[in-house]
Amino acid sequence: MFIVYSKTAIAFVFSLLFILCWRNRRTAESLLAQHNWPWLLIFWTLLRLIPFVSIYLIFNFLPQSDVANYYYPIGVSAKMPGIPYRDVYNPYAPLYGFWMAIPLLVWNSTKALVLFLTLVELLAVWLTCRAYQSRFSREERLLRALLYYLLPLPFVMAVLSGQEDVALWIFALLAIMALKDDGSDYRCGLWLALGILSTKAVFILIILPFFLLIRQPLRFLAGLATPGVPALIFLYVKTGFLFIQQPMDEGQYLKAPNWASLLHPWTSGFIDPNWPIWTYVGLVICLLVGFQALRLRGPHDYRTYFPLFYTATFSIMTVVQKNAIANYAYLFMLPLVFQMVDFRNPKAIFGLLLFNIAASVHPSLWWRIGQPYYKTPGEILSQPVYLLEYSVEIFIVGYLLYLVVQAQKQLKAPAAWQTQRTDSVP
């Protein structure tokens, strides 16, 4: 349980730092405005690089979990170069291993992967600041970036767990920028195709709004097809259907927290979460939530409604996907901080921090108490730690549903949210 206690302590420390910065946000913003320093690089150095050096070089801890069991063997195979799915088990997209091979060419260690993924996160933060430059001042964007870096969940996911989910936001932003800043439907489709081929299959869920933004559908589809069609042909010739089967097999594992883990103690006698139909039901629900977000977009600029669509879609996905875990919240932390959070509202800040603490600790807690999948309410009450774990599940799923509702509310009230600033007084 050392990992659980460590993550809990770190989550509370970062929460206190976040509160300190949030309470003094006007002073912080003034400081950021006075000095034209490379602040994002400074934030990364202080809040990512120095902790990385301390944990992995000075104390010589080794990355565990996905980094050791998936990323490293997939990256090593790509270095050879091997064929994904055929030569190594790969629940990710076909190009994922080649991205993981980049740091391994320089430093053949699982530690290199964690450091590389913090740089991927830095790229995501920089692109987000760039995407919001027409909405917020430079100091406002930097303050939001600092507040993001001080949240417990991004730190735990980036430095302690080495998660890659933030990469989905990168490819989404690149596609938006290609479409709106450069006016290129083709490059928009190209970035989306690369996102699908480089990250996870769930990336396909966010393609829907782009059909409302493009002006030349054929060029957009050509962009999708340019890397997509050759990749599909190559994978089919070399692996058969393994490139579909392996990611789908990973999706069959029952994890927590999600609808299945919450309801199973009450419905285990007549509902089997292993039924294949639940996968398709979850997909339909995700699409319906996405359609609803797009229906409510009204006069919103794409910079407003796309982050809300993105957050709502992946929030509901984390609830309805039976193999979902709290790590998936890392997918939308950046749009959540830059778009949704009302920094004038102490209750919103308290909820955000509580969710970050819970989502940071829960995966390790659930894993180390034996990955319980309760069959009866009595089993939950049989041990205090089970009751604690199940209570955390309820809160995480509840907050994710709250985000879906909040995204829709903000789409109904565009003017109020387009002018929100962190230093505004209620």
State percent of the chain over pLDDT 70: 97
Classify residue 71: in a domain, yes or no.
yes
408, HSE (Cβ side, Cα atoms, 13 Å): 15
Task: Band the pLDDT of 270: cuts 50, 70, 90.
Answer: confident
Contact 71, 100 (CB under 8 A): yes
Task: Band the pLDDT of 276: cuts 50, 70, 90.
Answer: confident
Rounded to an integer, the average pLDDT of 347-371 is: 97
The residue assigned the tokens 């320089």 is 106
Higher pLDDT, residue 423 or 329: 329
Distance CA(239)–CA(235), nearest Å, equals: 5
Classify residue 259: in a domain, yes or no.
no
pLDDT digits (tens, 9 = 90+) for 93-124: 999 999 999 999 999 999 999 999 999 999 99
pLDDT digits (tens, 9 = 90+) for 300-345: 777 788 999 999 999 999 999 998 999 999 999 999 999 999 999 9
Rg (CA), the chain: 21
Is the model's pLDDT at 274 over the cut of 90?
A: no
Classify residue 42: in a domain, yes or no.
yes
List residues bridging with 88 in a β-sheet. Answer: 84
The boundaries of the domain holding residue 149 are: 1-80+91-163
**Count of structural domains within the chain:** 1
Classify residue 32: in a domain, yes or no.
yes
Cα four-point dihedral sign 70, 313, 168, 21: negative
The residue assigned the tokens 């490293």 is 72
Is the model's pLDDT at 419 over the cut of 50?
A: no
Classify residue 384: in a domain, yes or no.
no
pLDDT digits (tens, 9 = 90+) for 361-418: 999 999 999 999 999 999 999 999 999 999 999 999 999 999 999 999 999 875 444 5
Q: Give, rounded to a whole angstrom, the gap between the first and last alpha carbons of the chain.
A: 42
* Residue 60 pLDDT: 97
pLDDT digits (tens, 9 = 90+) for 212-245: 888 899 999 999 999 999 999 999 999 999 999 9
Classify residue 135: in a domain, yes or no.
yes
* Residue 417 pLDDT: 45
Classify residue 15: in a domain, yes or no.
yes
Contact 256, 275 (CB under 8 A): no
Rounded to an integer, the average pLDDT of 60-86 is: 96
Higher pLDDT, residue 311 or 134: 311
Classify residue 49: in a domain, yes or no.
yes
The residue assigned the tokens 């970035």 is 191
